A and B are shown apart, each in its own frame.
Chain A
C-alpha cells in the first residue's frame, strides 16, 4: 500500500548541477502534481499533469521541467540548480478531481549550495 513514492528523500546539489526527482503512484490516479514548500509557507504548485500525456505550468514553474512518463510516473527536473531552489518538494496525485481526493508523497528535501 505504497500510495505516492518520491525519490530521493534527501539531496545536496552544487549550483549549476542538474537532477531529477522521481515520483510514482500506485492508485491509478489520473492527475499528478509537483509542489514546493519553503519555510513558513504553504505549498506552491510548480507543474501538474491533469491526465497522462498532458502537463501544465503552476504558480512557480521557472527553472523546472516535468515529464509524465506514463500514468504512474511524473518526474521533476532541475536543469541548472540555483540556491533559490532549496526547498522541500512534494509530489501528489488525485483521481482527476482537481485536488479533492489528493494524496501526497513524503517529500524530498533538496539543498542547493
Chain B
C-alpha cells in the first residue's frame, strides 16, 4: 500500500512564528488531505489538495504530485494552532485513506 511520511514529528514554535510541515508519499494518489487534530481529539479537515496550491486564512498548502510531496504552511502561528497535523492519501478507486503519523505542533505564548 501507499506509504506516508510526515516531518518533522514534533515542532515547538513561539507565537507569531511561521512553519512548514511536509508530507511525502510513495505512490500516485487520487486524494490528499490535511487534517488538524486539536488537543481534545477533534479532527478537522483543513485542505483537500491532490495537486496545486490552496490558501485558507493563515494556512496554505501545496502539493507537487509529480514529486510526491505536499507542504502545509502556517503563518503567524497562534496558540490555537497547537495539536497534531495529519496528511492522508488514497489512490484511485480506493476508499482507504492512509494517514501519516502526524506532526505534533506546540505553539507557546
Mark A residues whose CB is within 8 Å of B: 31, 33, 40-45, 48, 50, 56, 58-59, 88, 90, 97-104, 106-107
**How many contacting A-B pairs (Cβ < 8 A)?**
59
Alpha-carbon gap, A38 to B102, bound state (A) = 12
- Number of B residues near A (Cβ < 8 Å) is 23
Mark B residues whose CB is within 8 Å of A: 1, 4, 30-31, 33, 41-43, 45, 48, 86, 88, 90, 93-102
* Contact A100-B99, Cβ < 8 Å, known A42-B86, A43-B86, A90-B43: no
* Of the residues A44, A88, A102, contact of B33 by C-beta under 8 Å: A102
Q: Across the interface, do A59 and B96 meet the contact criterion of CB distance under 8 Å?
A: yes
Chain A interface helix/strand/loop/mixed: loop
Q: Across the interface, do A99 and B97 meet the contact criterion of CB distance under 8 Å?
A: yes
B90 to chain A, nearest CB (A): 6
Q: Which 5 A-B pairs have the closest CB atoms?
A: A42-B99, A104-B43, A99-B97, A43-B99, A107-B41
